[in-house]
Amino acid sequence: MPKARRVLAGLLAAMLPWASAAPQAEHAWLAAPPGAPAPAAYFGNLRDGDRIETPFVLRFGLTRAGLAPATRPVPGAGHHHLLIDRDLPLDFRRPLPFDPQVLHLSEGQMETVLTLRPGVHTLRLLLADDRHVPAFVYSKLLRVTVAAVNPALDPAGLVRPGVEILEPRAGEQRRGPFLLRMHASGLNVGHAEARGAGVGHFRIVAERAGAPVERIALVRGQTEVWLAPPPGRYRLRLELVANDDGATLAASAPVEIVVAK
């Protein structure tokens, strides 16, 4: 089979389980994203053409899909892989290899510490299932330059465990539905069906004067959602809830926003 046809066949096979995954619908405030974008991964703090020093904490984001550690099959969820100086696989039906150019984030991590040597490098994120078979969910290719290595920085000391709300920012005014993006550092995020020590799912806590506290459990391993709450002034917090026993693994600082009419 010609190369182009093999690539297309692999991509189509990888699309099917992800395109059919049901949207999260447990809470009335959760809304569909405008325009129904395709599932995709992205880099949260790096752009094409950037120059960096290593070690560098590289953050990941995920649209319209969930995270799950590689412990069991979970529809519509997977874990990140960082492709370093290599192309997408030709066959999306085969597991990704374990080699220095494919970094497996198999525990549900949302970041990693780059320790690349100086020079020009290409980076791409690719999501895969519990068997490391890739999905048609990946990021744009980035070409970055490592200008220098800082020997004074210890990679192990760059990550401080915690969770945070990235968007919206404190003091902003939004109209619903609006995007809420989350991040976990040094902690593992996963679909509620994915059990294991230290694995949890996000829960949004929304407080509004004169109204009951709303708790929105993102049990499908989402790291971003669209919200459509009633108008008002809100105090938002983010929690990471353990999948095993429901304990709170981490909580963010509060973010106060206004939802306009």
- Can you give the pLDDT of all 261 residues of the chain as single tens digits? 454 444 444 444 444 455 444 444 579 999 999 988 899 999 999 999 999 999 999 999 999 999 999 999 998 899 999 999 999 999 999 999 999 999 999 999 999 999 999 999 999 999 999 999 999 999 999 999 999 999 999 998 999 999 999 999 999 999 989 999 999 999 999 999 988 778 999 999 999 999 999 999 999 999 999 999 999 999 999 999 999 999 999 999 999 999 999
User: What is the reported pLDDT for 19?
Assistant: 46
Domain with CATH 2.60.40.10 in the chain: 3-22+37-157, 162-260
User: What is the reported pLDDT for 18?
Assistant: 53
Give one word for 206, left, alpha or beta, with left for phi > 0 and alpha for psi -120 to 50.
beta
The CATH code for residues 3-22+37-157 is: 2.60.40.10
10 SS3 class:
helix
User: Given CA atoms 40, 41, 45, 47 in this order, what sign does their dihedral have?
Assistant: negative
User: What is the reported pLDDT for 17?
Assistant: 53
For residues 23-62, one letter each, b for 16 or more C-beta atoms within 10 angstroms of the residue's C-beta and e for the rest, the string is ebeebebbbeeeeeeebbbebeebeeeeebebbbebbbbb
Was domain 162-260 assigned CATH 2.60.40.10?
yes
